[in-house]
Every structure is written in structure tokens, then in C-alpha cells.
Amino acid sequence: MNIKEEIISKLSLEEKIRLLSGKNHWQTVDIERLGIPSITVSDGPHGVRKEYTAEDGSKKTHEAVSFPTSSTMASTWNPELVREVGKALARECSRLDVDILLGPGTNIKRTPLCGRNFEYFSEDPLLAGEMTAAYIDGMQSQGVGTSLKHFAGNNQEYDRNNVSSEIDERTLREIYLKPFEIAVKKSQPWTVMCAYNRLNGIYCSENKFLLSDILRDEFGFHGIVMSDWWAVHDRAKSLKASLELEMPFTEGSAEVLRAAYERGEVTDEEMDAALERLLTIVYKIHDSRRIRTGEYDPEKQHMLAKEAALEGIVLLKNEEGILPVSKEKVKRLAVIGQYAKMPLIQGGGSARVVPSRLDSAFDRIVEIAGEDIEVDYVEPYVLWNAIPGVDVNKAIEAAVNSDMALLFVGNNYEIEGEGHDRFSMKLLPDMENLISRVASANENTVVVIQAGSAIDMTSWINKVKAVVLQGHSGQAAGSAVAEILFGAANPSGKLAETFPLSIEDTPAYGTYPGNGFAAWYSEGLMVGYRYYDTYNKEVLFPFGHGLSYTAFEYSGLDISTQVLEGKKKVTVKFKVKNTGSVQGKEVVQLYVKEMILRVIRPEKELKAFGKVELMPGEEKEIRFDLDEHAFEYYSLPRRDWHVEGGKYKLLIGASSRDIRLQGIVEI
């Protein structure tokens, strides 16, 4: 009998039931007489949102560094940078005595309207999975646990507590489960959080196929499953499905479990097995406190947040090379909009962090402009709600009298947040009207967007010279975007999701949000660029798109194969050269296309990516090694992954629609 078995044998039934749910809102149960410790969890995922009780009895939230949200982190296409952010988040947790941060979220962006898209990485499962794995690896290497969420099929907030995500098995495995699979196999999160919704009719908290058969048996998950808060409907069913920890504690749930045990519906073996898995993680986390660093440098934390923001900002449009701002051409600059001073750094809900500081884009713009550029600031609206007596004419006047207008717009916490979806892909009407009127007054108008998901820009995109997606970039967003605008930093972010022309063009448009009970994922595999590229649909900006202040040339594609241990390996090499005049980083993307189809497959699928930094004139060789997983699909007749023999096209691009090199390999 090992020590956990010995402890379990000494537990009363009441103690066992107590251990299987939270002690309170943020802690697990401790049993002092047996040496069972309590662990503390806290909201995330892009900062620590830990509550405390003030002296007056009111609930407060600790200040913490607010890093870029997952939507912006994904736009860096830089797993190593995400890993460093994970380490920094662990330092935040250590400072605030948090054992598990509730993140990352890796749900696929099925529709741009999902209110929590800012918390998720991508529409592509490979990119989402690799970013997620890096985040988990970074945090857990510092002795702080993660909770991979929301498992699974949580792709809308509307009716999330009841809706059933109806997803066929092939689509489920290739798209919606794949980022979880990558993260679990590569980084082994200590906990996984189940989603609120049903999956094919069964609540995720009670879904044995999902939590036990797939997550544990197939993916090899070794940690524990915890519920999202109040996501458990039947504690006995959830325990039998392999959910060890219900959060938070609810008296009624404990009574349900006790009654099911007394009726023989839950056995001692099932309860003890769950407790052994739970205690394994509890002791692991408790022991990991010894390796956590006591070092904490708020300035270094902030500068890492800024580095992540710089790499995640995407230059979407730059007509006539209007950016970076030229001190020779621009002598008077109009900065329009409150978000230039008070940026929207994140979405709303449980992910919202109280930032330890907040950089202002306007302050940094004034600093960089110095005495060379006169900067005017105008607030046409307060918090972007039209107020009687406040006229946009002030903004128009400033634009008319300036050489360039920088217009800051975006979605606030009420538009993008937990518990509700966006009502539109467009910006608020007042904002769209302001953009059009400013652009009419000044042909050199640049729009900076602060948002966590795709925006419909069709009413104004052709009226402005440049568009910068600042995203939800955390507390250093202001200084970061100012440095991008003035060329102190070269933009290197690329879109981790397609920007369609309108919501009507999206593949889920006909079935989102469902009928009040179910949402049918009838688009199947054709999510994001898989849909737009397969059916040759016009888009505003394609997946992987992002401009730079320099230019990159691709050349020298070389494809070779070898057989190792009976399996074919493909090595892809090519060169990338910086042909411009400034240092820059390029995101290179490799897509695979099956040339003769036996089953339905997308036009192309991302199978590898990398980010390379180059000085002017510098050239580097890029290498990708592909195994059979790069060519497989999930075969329903076989109920397994399958590689179809034949020819495949390998496409090397700067985006899904900017293919620079291509070659053929036979598998």
C-alpha cells in the first residue's frame, strides 16, 4: 500500500465527498489530521486575477501584470515568446500564492462573434495547440500548475450552460480536440477544465467518452479534471465520467454524490480511484512550491509584456507606405479617441485583470514626436458613447489641420467578454461614422483597432491609408503600438484568424447560435481559412496575413524524404532573405494539400510554422521536418488516423493566400 492508498483508507465517507469538491470559491479541501494540504486556484489566463477581502469587508482584486490576451499572443506566432510569458505568469502566481492559474483557453474560433475569442488562440488547431503547449510548459516549469480549458466544443458564450455542440467525430478530432491533444501530449497540464456546454447531447462534465476515453486513454492525460464553476449538473455522473474536482463547493452536489453512493451507483473503487488521482496532483502542486522563485521584478515583467505586445501587433494595411510616421513629412499630427490614452487592453469577465500599470499610446507618441511634430489630441466621445453636446466636429477640425490623423477605436469589455457573444462583427456605428468622416477630412488617416477578434471593416477600409490591429495587448499596449507607428519597432505579427468581409460570409453563419438547445456544426472541417480557401471566398485579410516595414524573399526550396523505423519522414528546406532596409521578423508558414482526394479535405492545412529574424540583406535557411501526422486525416470507417498514399503539394507562404514556394512529395 502506497502513501496515498494509506491516506485514502483512513478517510471517512464524508471526508472523501468533501475532498472531491472545493473548500470554497478558490481553494481545495485540506484535512489536517492526515496531512492533506489545500491548494489555491485563481482566474487567468493572461494575468492573475486574485481576489481578497479588504479591511472594510469589500471584495477587491490584486493588481498584477496584464499580458497580451491569447488572441494577440497567437499573432506573434512565436511559441518561445509564449513560453517566456508562461514563466512570467508563474512568477505572478508565486508572488500572490496561487498554485494553479485557470488557463490557457484553446477553444477554436468557430465564429468571430464568440464573446471569449480574445481568450482563445486561433481558428487553426496546430497554431492553437503549439501556443497552448508552450504556455503550459513555461508555467509548469516554474512549479505553478495550469488548467487547460474549456474541454470541449465551447465555441460560443450564448446559451453556454445548456447548448449542445453537435459535432461529427471527424470534425471533432481534426479541429476541436486537436489543440487539446497537442497540448496534453507535449506539455501535460496538471489540470484540465471541462466546459459548460453539452457535447453531442451530453454535458461535458458528465461525458465519459470525452473525459475518460479520449482525454485519459487516448491522449494520455495524467492530471485531474476540474469543473468550470457550477458546470456540474449531476455529481455522481461527473465522477463516473472521470471528473475529480468540482468547483466550487455546493451542498446540494455533495448530497447527490452521497445518495448515489448509498444506492450503489458509485462504488468505493470509483471514488478511491478519483481520490488517488486528485491527491497525486495536490501533493505534486504542494511539493512544487519549493521550486518556485521568490524573485519578482515588476519592471522586467512589464517589459516582457511589452515585447509580447510588439510581436503581436499586426499591420493589416499600409497604403503608399504611410507608416511608419515620417518626421520629414508629418509636422502636425491629430490623435483622436480616448483609447489612445486609456487603451482597451483585454476583454471582460473572469479573465479581466487589474493591471499593475498602464502605458498610454498618446504619451509615448508625444515623447517620440519630440519637438519635430506638433501633436493634437481630441476626444470626440467619452467611452465611445455619444453624449449630447459633444460633437465630432472637433475631431474633423483637428484632422483637417493635420498632416496625418491617428484614430483609435475598438471593442470595450461589454462587447467582448464572458457570458455573452458579440452582437455584430462591426464596430459601433458611432465609431464607423467617425472613421469615415475623419478619413474624408484627411486622406492620411490611420486606424488603430483594439479588439480580440475579427472586425468587419467593409464600410470604411477603402477610405483609410493604414490599419493597425493593436488587439488586446495588455498593459504595455500603448507604448508598444506607438513604437510600431513611428518605426521604433518593426511590426511582425500575423493574423491567427481570417478576417472575413462580413458575418454573412462566415461558414457558421447559418447554424450559429442554434435553436436554443443545439448548435449544429454543419460546416464540418471547413472552419476559418479551410473554408475560405477551399471555396475561394473573398476575404478582407487572410489567415497568416501581416505586413512589415521591410520585405522578404523566399527561395531554394528543397524537399527530401527518408524512411525511419518503417515511416516516411519529409524534410523541407528553403531560404528567406531580408531584401529591405530595416531589421525585421518574418513568419513562415507551411501548408499541405492532398492532390487527389479520396475523402473531403480542405484546400490546404497548416502543418508547420516558424519565425525568423533577419538584418537587412541577411539570409537564413529554414528547415521543417514532417512526419506522417502532417498528412493524416481521421478515417471514420477505420475509427483511426489514416495517411492516404499519393502525392501531396507542400506550400510555403507568408500567409494562406501568399504562397511563395511549392513542391510535391509522394507519400
The catalytic residues are 228
Smallest Cα–Cα separation from 424: which of 159, 108, 115?
115
465 vs 131: CA distance, rounded Å: 32
Radius of gyration of the chain (CA): 25
Name the one residue in this structure whose C-alpha cell is 468587419. Answer: 456
Smallest Cα–Cα separation from 40: which of 61, 54, 24, 18?
24
Spell 85-106 as b/e; 16+ CB within 10 A means b: bbbbbbbbbbbbebbbbbbbbb
Beta pairing class for 374-378 and 332-336: parallel
In sequence order, the β-bridge partners of residue 623 are 573
546 vs 537: CA distance, rounded Å: 19
In sequence order, the β-bridge partners of residue 625 are 571
Residue 363 has a CB neighbour count (10 Å cut-off) of 14
Query: Phi, psi at residue 13, to the nearest 5°?
Result: -60, -40
As a residue count, the chain comes to 667
Cell triple for 592: 499541405
* 527 within 8 A of 126, measured Cβ to Cβ: no
Smallest Cα–Cα separation from 226: which of 201, 243, 209?
243
277 vs 525: CA distance, rounded Å: 35
336 vs 528: CA distance, rounded Å: 33
Give me the amino acid identity at 40: T
Name the one residue in this structure whose C-alpha cell is 507618441. Answer: 365
Residue 225 has a CB neighbour count (10 Å cut-off) of 29
30 vs 37: CA distance, rounded Å: 5
Name the one residue in this structure whose C-alpha cell is 499580458. Answer: 67
3-state SS class at 1: coil
Cell triple for 279: 491527491
492 vs 584: CA distance, rounded Å: 7
60 vs 49: CA distance, rounded Å: 10
Name the one residue in this structure whose C-alpha cell is 488547431. Answer: 125
